[in-house]
Amino acid sequence: GAVVSQHPSRVICKSGTSVKIECRSLDFQATTMFWYRQFPKQSLMLMATSNEGSKATYEQGVEKDKFLINHASLTLSTLTVTSAHPEDSSFYICSASQHGRSGGYTFGSGTRLTVV
């Protein structure tokens, strides 16, 4: 079945630094990739949607200059949290979509970001 690999699984960084999270579709070409953020006991909140080769579409309230998304190929999307602050600490999850597949949203294993 479809597999999405997300790295790193955990990262701790100092306030003010940037962190890059990678999301790869291993056995299919992902026409669309999604980035979510999840707080404890809360639902997954969509941050942005990206299509290969085009700019990401950000949800209302998400700072596009802070959360940089690159989707340079059909198998790789990256999320860079720039100038991270403690309030950016969260669980970030990517998802890849392959049109036409039943249940066509496959999720990565998530990245726990802690900013100290």
Options 53, 61, 86, 103; binder of other proteins; rule CB under 8 A: 103
The residues in 43-62 that bind other proteins, with binding defined as CB under 8 A, are 43-46, 49
CB-based burial of residue 41 (10 Å sphere; 0-12 exposed, 13-18 middle, 19+ buried)?
Answer: exposed
CB-based burial of residue 92 (10 Å sphere; 0-12 exposed, 13-18 middle, 19+ buried)?
Answer: buried
Q: In the complex with other proteins, which residue's Cβ is closer, 9 or 15?
A: 9
Which of helix, strand or coil describes residue 21? strand
Distance (Å, whole) CA 115 – CA 4: 25
Structure tokens at 17: 């630094």
What type of residue is 88?
D
Is 25 among the residues that bind other proteins (CB under 8 A)?
no
| Least Cβ distance, residue 16 to other proteins (angstroms) | 26
| Least Cβ distance, residue 93 to other proteins (angstroms) | 5
Is 32 among the residues that bind other proteins (CB under 8 A)?
yes
Binding site for other proteins (CB under 8 A): 4, 6, 32, 34, 41-46, 49, 91, 93, 95, 97, 102-103, 105-110, 112
